[in-house]
Structure 1
Amino acid sequence: MPDRPDFLVIGECVADIVRLPGAPDRVHPGGSPANVAHGLARLGHDATLLTQLGADDNGRLIRAHLTGAGVEVLDDDATDPTPSAVVTLDDEGRASYAFEITWSLGPVALDRRPRHVHTGSIAAVTAPGAATVLAAVESLRTAATVSYDPNVRPALMGEHEAAVRRVERCVALSDVVKASDEDLGWLYPGREPEDAAERWLAAGPALVLVTRGGEGATALLPGGRVDIGALPVDVVDSVGAGDAFMSGTLHALAAHGLLGEAGRERLRAPDRDTVSDVLRHAAASAAVTVARAGANPPDESELRAALARH
C-alpha cells in the first residue's frame, strides 16, 4: 500500500435494515461515510475508513463488505453494538430512517497522512465521538483537502440551533461541501437552498454542491454556479444516492488534480467546464446507485458506461 493513501474517510458504519411492505427485511451495509469510502474504493482509489464496528453479526457483515471492495478499516476498541437503522421505503423508493446508534469514537493512531479527508453525517455532530472527528480533521487539513456532507438526520441532530452551529463549524473546516435541498431546508427553514449554500460558500469552502433529487444538482463556486439536470433512471431505491454522488464528486476532483495540498489552490479557481465534468460524474454515479437495491455504487467500468449513456 502506498505511503499516502488517497482518501481517509472518518465516520460511522450503519447496518441498514430495509423494510418493504409484505417482504422480509433485508440488511445492507451502510452509513454515509462508510458508503463514501466503499464508493471510492470501487472507483479504484486507496480508501481508509476510520470508524467503529461492534463484535456482532452486523459488524462482521459491514467489515467484510468494505474490505472486500478494498477499503482499509481502522476502528477503536469500543464495545458498543454496530449502529443500525430501519429503512422504510415508500412507493417511489424514498427512504425514511429509525436509528439505533451510539457514536463514541476514540483517538486512533494514523501511520500515514492522507491526501484528502472526508467526513460528515452522524459522526461529525454526535457526542462524544464528534470531538475525535473534528480534532482529526483540524490536524490533517493543513496537508490535506477536506470534504463534508452533513447528511442531516433530524432525529439525531439534537437542539436545532446547536446542531446548526456544529454543522457550520464543519463547513468552515472544509474545501468541498455537499448537501441536499432537504438538509438545507431543515438547517435553515424558510430559506432557499441556494441562499443557504451561498452562506456556506462565504464561510470558506471552495465548492458547495446542492443536490435536488430528481431535479438535478447545483455547484456554487466563487465565480458563479453550474447546474446539471438529473439523469433519467428507473429508481429502485434512493438508499446511498447522495453518498454515491459524493464519491463520484471526489473521484472526478482527483482526476482533475484538484485534491490534496498541491491541488488546493487550483480547487479555489476551477473553470466551469471542469465543474460541469465533476457534476456529470457525480450525477452518473448516483444514477447507477438508485437503479439497484441498497447503497451499491458503481465501479469504474459502470461509471464509464453510465457517462457514455448520458
Structure 2
Amino acid sequence: MFTVIGESLVDIIEAPARGTARQIHPGGSPLNVAVGSARLGLPTTLITHFADDAHGHLIDDHLRGNNVEAIVGGSFPTSSAAALLDGSGAAGYTFSIHWDINGASIPALAAVESALHVHTGSIAAVLAPGNKTVLGLVEAARPHATVSFDPNCRPAISGDIEAARQEVEGFVAASDIVKASDEDLLWLYPGRTVEDSLAAWLELGPAMVALTRGADGPVILTRRGRVEMPAEAIKVADTVGAGDSFMAALISGLAQLDALGAVNRPRLQDLATAQLHALAAYANRAAAITCSRPGANPPTAAELGPLTGTPTTAES
C-alpha cells in the first residue's frame, strides 16, 4: 500500500548538557516515516541503503521488528548522523552519509508501481548519485499513486543552497502532499516569510502543504482552506524524529479519509476545513508523543487512536 524511498542511517546521540550517556538508534527521516506509518497500520515498504555491518544489522533488526519490508541497494558503508542535543532537547547534526540504491532498480520500480502512495525526502532528494533515481521512481509512481515529500533540509550536506532549492522544488512540483519545517523554509528562502514560501509551493502543484513550527504547532494549507494550532503541552525528552512522526500520521490520516492514490486526487484536493483540522490535530499528537520520549520512537495506532472529528464528505 505504501512505499517510502530514502536513506537509513544510525543516529549517534550525545547530550553532554544533560549528563546522559551516548545512545545509538536507527534513524534517517525516510526510515522514521516508514516505521511510523507501519506502527499506524499501513503496510509499508522502504527502498533504502544500508550495509552488511554492525550499524546495518541494527537497522535491519529495527525494520523487521516494525514490520517494514526493506528493498536494499547500494554498496557503501551504513550512513550515520551524530546528533548533539542541547539543554532543551533540540538536536544539531553532523553526518557521514552515502546515498545510492544501485542494484535495486527492478524491485524498487515494482514497489512504486504497486503502491497506493509513495513518500520521499531528506538526503535522498538532494544527494547524488541516488537523488536522480529517486525522482525517476516518483515520476513512475504518479500515474497510479499519490506522492508526498518532506525536504527535511540538512545544510551540512546540501551546502549549495541554490542547487538544493532547485532539487527541492522539482520534488515539490512532482508531489501531492508536501511537509516542511519552518527551519527548512527559512534556510531555503531566507528573503521571504515561511507563509509566502508555503503559498509559493502550493502554486507549484501540490494539493496540500504542511508546516511544522516546533512549539508553535503546525499549519496545513490547501487551495480550499488553512488551519493552524499550537503544539501540545508536554515535557520534551528530545525532538528527534518528531517531524517524521508528524508526516507518518498525516499520511495515515489521509488513508483513513480515503484520500490517497491517484484515483482519489479529487478527494484530496477537496478536503473540508474540518478534515484539515482533524488531520493537523492527529499529526500534532503523533509528534508530541514522539517528543515525550527519547529518540525517533513514533506512536503505535493504539497509542494515537483513529482520526476523529471529520465529516465523511468534503464540506465547507
* TMscore range, shorter length: over 0.9
Partners of 1:109 and 1:50 lie apart in 2 by 11
1:104 alignment counterpart: 100
Gaps of 5+ in 2: 310-316
Amino acid at match of 1:181: D
1:84 alignment counterpart: 80
When structure 1 is superposed on structure 2, of 165-174 and 255-264 the one drifting more is 255-264
Identity %: 48
1:303 alignment counterpart: 304
2:312 alignment counterpart: none
When structure 1 is superposed on structure 2, of 179-188 and 298-307 the one drifting more is 298-307
TM-score between the two structures when normalised by the length of structure 1: 0.95
Residues 278, 308 of structure 2: 8 Å contact kept: no
Question: Is 2:44 the partner of 1:47?
Answer: yes
1:31 alignment counterpart: 28
Partners of 2:235 and 2:118 lie apart in 1 by 33
TM-score between the two structures when normalised by the length of structure 2: 0.93
SS at match of 1:263: helix
1:235 alignment counterpart: 236
**Which of 6, 9, 19 does residue 14 from structure 1 map onto?**
9
Partners of 1:251 and 1:146 lie apart in 2 by 13
1:3 alignment counterpart: none
1:124 alignment counterpart: 125
Gaps of 5+ in 1: 1-5
How far is the alpha carbon of 1:306 from its aligned partner?
Answer: 11
2:144 alignment counterpart: 143
Distance 1:82 1:283, change over 3 A: same
**Aligned alpha-carbon RMSD (Å):** 1.5
How far is the alpha carbon of 1:266 from its aligned partner?
Answer: 0.6
Deviations, residues 221-241 of structure 1 (Å, cap 9, x unaligned) = 002311121111110000000
Residues 75, 108 of structure 1: 8 Å contact kept: no
Paired residues in the alignment total 302
Partners of 2:180 and 2:76 lie apart in 1 by 29
Residues 280, 307 of structure 1: 8 Å contact kept: no
Amino acid at match of 1:137: V
1:191-202 mapped onto 2 (5 Å cutoff): 191-202=192-203
Partners of 1:134 and 1:96 lie apart in 2 by 28
SS at match of 2:136: helix
Partners of 2:225 and 2:42 lie apart in 1 by 30
Amino acid at match of 1:231: E
Runs of 4+ aligned structure 1 residues displaced above 6 Å come to: 305-308
Partners of 1:159 and 1:66 lie apart in 2 by 32
How far is the alpha carbon of 1:207 from its aligned partner?
Answer: 0.2
Partners of 2:15 and 2:200 lie apart in 1 by 39
2:313 alignment counterpart: none
